[in-house]
Amino acid sequence: MLTSEGLEEIEATRAEEPSARHALLTALRVTQRERHKVGPEEIEYIAGLLGLSPAIVEGVARFYDQITASPTGQHIVRVCGGITCYLSQSDRVAQDLKGFLGIADGEETSPDGEFTVRLVECIGDCDHAPAGMLDDRFVGPLDERALRTISER
């Protein structure tokens, strides 16, 4: 289910920490990165890998916003909807970006499964409002140029 690289990362954390439970957050992050979701199958898998009950894995997974039950696109664009970015009209930016990427109203992911656009809370980059991230990279301010760059990826 996971790449050997991903498995190594989880294993390394587990080896360093006092118990398997401590590697759970890392396991969830790695799985989300590689599978773009942590649904029932992934939960079973992680539970087996770490020797934890699936209920525990699911309980933790559903607490964190970046771990999603349904699949996201290959790339995820986070548009900040925090107070500063909201005041610079970031919700319109998110709308424009969805238009660029052909994401229908009410949807988050493009039909080809390439991009998910999500409005999120403050991402800690408010001096670049309207701020945004392309996967793990800060790409704000989301002006027209930044939007093009994202859509051309």
Partner 1 sequence: MADFLTRHTKDPAQKKLDTARGRGAYEGFRRALAMSRQEVVAEIDASGLRGRGGAGFPTGRKWSFIHAKEGQSVYLLCNADESEPGTFKDHHLMTFDPHLVLEGVAVGAYAIGAHRAYIYLRGEYASIAETLAAALREATAAGIIGQSCLGSGYDLSVGLQLGAGAYICGEETGLIQSLEGKRAYPRVRPPFPAVHGFLREPTVVNNVETLACAARIMAEGAEAFARLGTRQSAGTKLISVSGAVERPGVYEVEMGYPLMQFLSHEAGGISGGRRLKAIIPGGTSVPVLTAEEAAPLTIDYESMLSAGTMLGSGGMIVFGDGTSMPHALLRIAEFYAHESCGECTPCREGTGWMAWVLRRLLAGEGSPGDLGLLLRVGDNIEGRTICGLGDASVQPVRSFIRKFRQEFEALAPLPVAFPAWQLHGHGPRTGRFGPPVEEAAQSQPVEGPPDYVL
In contact, 29 and 61? CB cutoff 8 Å? no
CB of 145 to partner 1, least distance (A): 19
Select 127 or 152, whichever has its Cβ closest to partner 1.
127
Give the number of residues written for the chain.
153
Q: Hey, which residues between 79 and 98 contact ligand FES (CB under 6 A)?
A: 80, 82-85
Give dist(CA 146, CA 50) in Å, integer: 40
At position 147, the amino acid (one-letter code) is L
Nearer to ligand FES, 3 or 89 (CB): 89
Q: Is 79 exposed, middle or buried (0-12, 13-18, 19+ CB in 10 A)?
A: buried
Tell me how far, at minimum, the Cβ of 93 lies from partner 1, in Å.
11
| Residue 119 to residue 54: CA distance in whole angstroms | 29
Q: By CB under 8 A, name the binding residues for partner 1.
A: 16-18, 21-26, 28-29, 32, 59-60, 63-67, 78, 81-84, 86-89, 91-92, 120-127, 129, 133, 136-138
123 binds ligand FES (CB under 6 A): yes
